[in-house]
Structure 1
């Protein structure tokens, strides 16, 4: 049985490959050093050569940003550029040629993080999207995927912010509901206490919003975090000045107590509400990825590989190469996606296809990794690709579509954000 090998390349982190159906050859995609978008060289807006690197840009904006601060963008990916430049020009020994490429592909794919809203954004580690500010997700799920650090961090910031923002809200708005509270604390002390309580909420709990807003301004892609940072930041700065330097304001700004009105409660409450929204969103995405992780856990961790003499060897399922022959017995699960080359069996595919009845599989039929063999010995299965496991594809599909919104809604959101900023 012939092996359906996927197109592979050692430099997958720096360039992706696409098989052109019309021309029948591999087209190498390169990444814009500014925004990280994957583009074809012949479709790039422009390109320049800088320090022995040929760089391509998706737009004039990215090119101008790079020319203004080239060292900043090269420093962020210096090790990555050095790695790929080395692989493009070094000589390969015959022993190295015999080494399988699947290990490099697996490491590169598992180490790539992407944005569900902007899949063209690729990074070598966790962080936030430079376009929309959303937390990045791993491109490839693994069975050992643990709790999200982003969710843990946002949850911690939310609870601390809620603990501090509630007293601020009571200090400012409580007297409107209960007039007797007005006399419990002198107005000047009330304002200073709000300053002490609200500052950690805005500056520490809401710091990720300011960081993402700064990134959006640098990339000229205004988003929700730009609005949040501007609203809470302006309210907090104004209130601090009004508290510390009330004499700077005209008399018309002062109340009967000689104090200037402050908006600490607005800045603190808005920060906490946005944190709550982030926690709910990340928790929903965590549940989605958790379901896919459970699906990955169904696949066995080891496989029984057949050598040329028919002897069986137990190996790690992740070490199965394209073309390897595996033996699977009744009651066992299929370790990887592949093609039946010998034997006949029935397979439970209900978790993937929804088919309630076992599906009969014979020679040349495809099988899905993680499915249970019901009866009859399946003599051998040949793996057909390296990283194209069905469960991985399901994870990528759910990642890209769990938060995807229609183009009309994206346009409306961008228009509203621009209108409010204007």
Structure 2
């Protein structure tokens, strides 16, 4: 095959005799060869005479009735090419898999300026504010109350990252880099008398360092502050905007026009003090809190995307003639017949119409044992097919599937305001107007009856009121306690995702606990071997383990592990077979070994009656029982169970001493649930045979009765209930979805960590209330003094410098108090 790229004449790959070069890439030939595509791709990559490989540099996707490959530049026929990709609600077509892969890896490198970044907007999608869920509108925008970027109400895998999560860390970096030299210049001179720059130049240097922090890094807070004033929904951003703005404007006036200030307000050197560092530090601290909040919301999004990832992107649809075609999941309709191969995830909800297999439904039940499926059995999208091939008929697709409903439940339960933020907003609702009123009254009184120069005294005292009311301590009160508490919790095996989890857990009255992986270890183990008819226990286990070593069943793994722990050698296996719904069989060292239920024993002529009483007793103890026949004679049984955690009993007792009502929910059967309940003791209620929506419904019912509910779990099936509860507690040994959906994670998988988390919540909220009290105490004393109430009787005025010192003292007190959490006994 001749290389079409070597020809630069008409009809070749060149333009004006120059080699074609893709936008930001090597030549299309190099890109193609580097991709190591198939022979069919190579043939499809040849150019047709008259097509241009690079055109005129135009990156538009369409060329006449054909499409342009944005990577290499050649034109392709959308109807015949097999390589497509979607980006920003546009379809793009490529000549080969290599070009498609390069485009998907970095779309903007090939789109350039031809398509500005746009939010991915699904037609008819509703967008809402994460801080004010009642704000809903069509399409993206900003919240009219707080100015935050709206987010899609219905999550999608195509959702673009929150633009604030990209923007705010950049602003934080700028603020942090500039704040360090700002503090060096201001604090060294103020506290130690060390002047890094001259006293005359210092205000201008501080202004140059602070202006980018306040005017650029802090600009979103001014926008939100103004938005809150305009809509009459005063909040924390109102306080931040007023406090930072007052400090910055005062300092700017003192820098530009120091002559308007009376002598009494100057330093010994005759300079008017400035407070740029206060404005800069406040902006930096608030940005830290915002970035942490944004990352927590992003983690919530990852949990939802992990749920959506359970469903495959395509399905194998059967045509009327019986042939198969691979179609996008969105193209599957109710009534379609779909082929599900072994090991594949089921694409949608439906019913089996052909074939037999076992399906791993742990995403729904949290239980490890696969469920046998045959004709007429219902199956759920997102569950995983076992070793058999199934044909299913779809009866629920798209947003009607069980998996889609779980995703919606998680998203709706997690879309709520942080209680601590709501508390701060309620406080600021009266605090901000009161401070503004006091400042205005102060200005008017000093203008009317104050000493000369009246304007100077009025302005300085009004600004002093605003400076001392700057919400630095109020802004630190919550995040400092949370920062220290999360560090303390991490050392105690408790990871806290958000402040709202701590506040909610302090008031929890009912604790709902999942069984598998929470009360139990989540790993089935061999617990008993019973023999009859003179069989040898070690021989029975060795033969059974040899057969089960050929199986993928989780309980089979427990048997093999148990045999290995006893040092048994496994024999040679021949003729392994799986009987769906019955068990397994094989020949081991010439002996016929059959494992399964009573029906399996009767099938091979082994009478199960002599061991049924022992089997029932083991089942009542919560074990899974497998009968074993050797050469058509009943030999005994093997019991496998998920052991209760050693710490569970003591932990439940400790939780009850904390005043908690403890309820166990499980997808397992009633017999196993009762056995576990007896083993741990102290449970107030036990519910079994539950699906994910049942768990979430029970949590909602408890909340509707007025109870504050915490949920502890470890599986995907627990995610809706974890999100619906006032606070979710995920075992660190659990799935990523459970961990991301929970407000706290118990990293050591230790149930007693719930007790430590409860004590941490009590200590943290007590500390936060103390911090808020201290910050308001300083304001309550400082604001009247700053307004000049002591001047008529004692001649005392509080200059902005003293106001700044008082503000710093309040912040210092808050920090010291928060650090006390490091010594809290958990």
TM-score per shorter chain, which class?
A: 0.5 to 0.7
Alpha-carbon shift at residue 301 of structure 1 (Å): 1.5
User: How far apart in 1 are the matches of 2:401 and 2:164?
Assistant: 27
1:103 alignment counterpart: none
Query: Cα–Cα, structure 1 residues 208 and 167, in superposed 2: closer, same or farther, change >3 Å?
Result: same
Query: Cα–Cα, structure 1 residues 399 and 224, in superposed 2: closer, same or farther, change >3 Å?
Result: farther
Aligned residues of 2:332 and 2:397 also touching (Cα < 8 A): no
Query: Cα–Cα, structure 1 residues 180 and 116, in superposed 2: closer, same or farther, change >3 Å?
Result: closer
User: How far apart in 2 are the matches of 1:401 and 1:370?
Assistant: 21
Aligned residues of 1:141 and 1:392 also touching (Cα < 8 A): no
User: How far apart in 2 are the matches of 1:328 and 1:226?
Assistant: 57
Q: TM-score, normalised by structure 1?
A: 0.66
Alpha-carbon shift at residue 134 of structure 1 (Å): 4.0
Q: TM-score, normalised by structure 2?
A: 0.35
User: How far apart in 1 are the matches of 2:403 and 2:265?
Assistant: 62
Q: What is the RMSD computed on CA atoms of the aligned residues?
A: 2.8
1:335 alignment counterpart: 347
2:136 alignment counterpart: 122
Q: Deviations over 1:327-361 (max 9, x none)?
A: 2222111123x121524543223245422222344
Alpha-carbon shift at residue 271 of structure 1 (Å): 0.6
Aligned partner of residue 200 in structure 2, secondary structure: helix
* Structure whose alpha-carbon radius of gyration is higher: 2
Alpha-carbon shift at residue 379 of structure 1 (Å): 1.2
User: How far apart in 2 are the matches of 1:152 and 1:406?
Assistant: 22
Aligned partner of residue 108 in structure 1, secondary structure: coil
Query: Where do 5+ consecutive residues of structure 2 fail to align?
Result: 1-120, 435-826
Query: Where do 5+ consecutive residues of structure 1 fail to align?
Result: 1-105
2:293 equivalent among 281, 285, 307: 281
Query: Cα–Cα, structure 1 residues 307 and 222, in superposed 2: closer, same or farther, change >3 Å?
Result: farther
1:291 alignment counterpart: 303
1:6 alignment counterpart: none
Alpha-carbon shift at residue 209 of structure 1 (Å): 1.2
Query: Cα–Cα, structure 1 residues 139 and 405, in superposed 2: closer, same or farther, change >3 Å?
Result: closer
Matched, 1:413 2:414: no
Matched, 1:152 2:166: yes
Alpha-carbon shift at residue 291 of structure 1 (Å): 3.1
1:181 alignment counterpart: 194
Q: Deviations over 1:242-277 (max 9, x none)?
A: 111112222222222222222211111111111111
Aligned residues of 2:142 and 2:148 also touching (Cα < 8 A): yes
Report matched runs for 1:13-412 at 5 Å.
107-108=122-123, 111-176=125-190, 179=192, 181-182=194-195, 184-336=196-348, 338-343=349-354, 344-361=356-373, 366-402=378-414, 404-405=416-417, 412=423
Aligned residues of 2:131 and 2:418 also touching (Cα < 8 A): no
Aligned residues of 2:318 and 2:325 also touching (Cα < 8 A): yes
Query: Cα–Cα, structure 1 residues 185 and 299, in superposed 2: closer, same or farther, change >3 Å?
Result: same
Aligned partner of residue 122 in structure 2, secondary structure: helix
Matched length = 312
Query: Cα–Cα, structure 1 residues 403 and 295, in superposed 2: closer, same or farther, change >3 Å?
Result: closer
Aligned partner of residue 245 in structure 2, secondary structure: helix
1:68 alignment counterpart: none
Q: Deviations over 1:196-224 (max 9, x none)?
A: 11011011111111122222222222222
User: How far apart in 2 are the matches of 1:223 and 1:267?
Assistant: 18
Aligned residues of 1:195 and 1:264 also touching (Cα < 8 A): yes
Query: Cα–Cα, structure 1 residues 403 and 187, in superposed 2: closer, same or farther, change >3 Å?
Result: farther
User: How far apart in 2 are the matches of 1:278 and 1:211?
Assistant: 15
